[in-house]
Structure 1
Amino acid sequence: MDNTVLKQQDFADAAGTAVTMLVERLSVHAEEWFVVPLSGFLKELCQKQRQGGIEPVFCVSISVLRTALLCGKPGYRLDAYGQDWPLYDRPLTTRFVECPWLTPLWSELNDHFQAVLDQQEIKKFCYPLLAEQAAWKCTGPLFSMMGSLLKYHMAPIKDDRAFRALVKGDEFRIEFGEFLDWKIVLAAEYPEVDLFNSRGRQFPHRQFQDKIFRHKKFYKFNLKGSVFRNCEFSDSTLEEASLGDCLFEQCRFKNVIFTDVLLAGAQFRECTLENVVFERVIASIAGMAPEKMDDWYRALSMLLTSMEHVRFSDCDLRGGQMEQCTTTYTVMENTLAEASDFAILLPNI
């Protein structure tokens, strides 16, 4: 496409408007549009397993179909895969879910570019084709944002009776993306690992219960999306670790230092933090370097958490949430906290 006709800003404006619409609508309709169909699909899988028809399920993939959108019948595929799921070949079962709600988003993109082209000195018969081509280029980023938003609406699925009853393979995952293309993990059920007696540092989406981490160094660990329940961290350091979307529930931290850690999307629920230091921690996607941005994250949140002798230094806490927390001798130094509940900790100058 000729860049003299449509500028980069035109695409940015169109995508921004579409994403705003998407955020507003998913906040209300995520359950109706995705959770309910997914729950029904899991129920169907359980029935087939009881009848002896299919093997353990390793992956359930939600695939948005751009071609269906272009043909005026927007929708997504639900595919269940067995042990050979990385090949995305021979799904155990498949279902197509119609998405008429995608049509207004597609129309908004087309209308935006049509309005821009109306101001250009090109032949009128080129307008519809150019507008459609431009809108097509925006659908990939739009679907990616959709997946990033959806991962925060998956809690009901994990409590679903069919989800619990489903016979799963190791490292079971529910993912979202485009068919035979990129994927984002929405929910996972991976087996627990011994972090310090296992090879490598890539351990996303793991579950840890009642673990004690004492005198440990979490250096460059990728624990994205992992869950820690009733765990204890003491006299330890977390350095250059990725803890995006991690959940810490009823965990205790004492004499712990977080340095250059990604905490965007992380949640601390009913935790206690004593003598804890956060240095150069990124807890907001606004503070992430573009080359390190692997996903979209909401901001850090702390709920019913006690902080005593805690220090935030050179951190980015923009947009962070802090609800029903105590902050005894908790201070912030040279830290960004715009539109954040943590702003109450900023020193009065």
Structure 2
Amino acid sequence: MNYMSPSLANSTGAGIGGLALAMALHKKGISFTLYEDAKEYPAGEDAQDIFFEGMPLEEGLGRDKPWYGHSGWGHPNYIRKSAHRKTLLDIMTSFIPIENVKLNKPECSVLAGADGIKSAVRAHVLEKYPSQITSVYAGAYCYRAVIPISEAYEILGDLTDVANFYFGSKRSAITYRITGGEEFNYLLCVADSLDGWKVKGAVTETISHEAMMADFKGPGGFFHHFRTASYYRGRVTLVGDSAHASLPFQAAGAAQGLEDALVLSNVLAETAKFPQRGGELAPFIQAGLSAYDSVRRPCAQKRLEQAAEVGRMIFFQHQEAGDDMDKILPKLQQGRFN
């Protein structure tokens, strides 16, 4: 039997990590409330695919279920290991009871901050480490857009059939199909100086078409939480990008949020078995969050560091490989995507 306070766990943020945690808690019978400000998921800003790798999550992501996704293109035996982010968010939202979604003042035993790269909860958790609260500009930015595959095919032809990663001196491009192959997502990336981002407090900027074209003769900056001393403080913890916002070059950021939810939900399920309530439960909660931190933080921070290293490779700025593809490719193939 589970002994629970009126709301054992609250999650701020209905992104991948927050929804995954809410789904897991609901499945385990753990009371929770999900808080979210946004009323919908913007398709353009959430166009990237999410690649499931690392921990063997596939069995928990719908395999053999009627709603399990299948590739909209390619060989019929190909098992697709990625998902369009907005589509995945819509599916995950359908599993959350509407009565568990609130916009009012939260009261709970545990607060999980899944409120993204500009997390307010992170400021509380890392109060003793003020230099680690705000995400750090990673010295690169990108232009991202989604266009119909018919328009992309007119420009790139058969190059639209598979995902492509183009390397270059301080420039790179990433292209792939989404939405069952009906749309084409592309990112044009530019390497910059570490102090090059001038828009304070924002991770995107709107600029003119002429300025954008000059870059490749409204970028979005690449920011990450490169150092994080702890994923929890007291009975408050971090999940997803609020804990370990990363560069996109290992396509593992969202999957890390799913792994956070998997570990944290199991920790909270064990905590809920104790008969103590209220303040008496606090030591058990803190012990559980310490265990969550010890499991997730080393793994997620390693991914984050590897993503930054891959970024240096694709811009030909790696300290060892430089612009030598004979050195870059073995590094990518022998560990940087493990």
Q: Same fold (TM over 0.5)?
A: no
Query: TM-score, normalized by length of structure 1?
Result: 0.27
| Greater Rg by CA | 1
Query: TM-score, normalized by length of structure 2?
Result: 0.27
RCO comparison, higher one (Cα < 8 Å, 6+): 2
Specify which structure has the higher proportion of strand.
Answer: 1
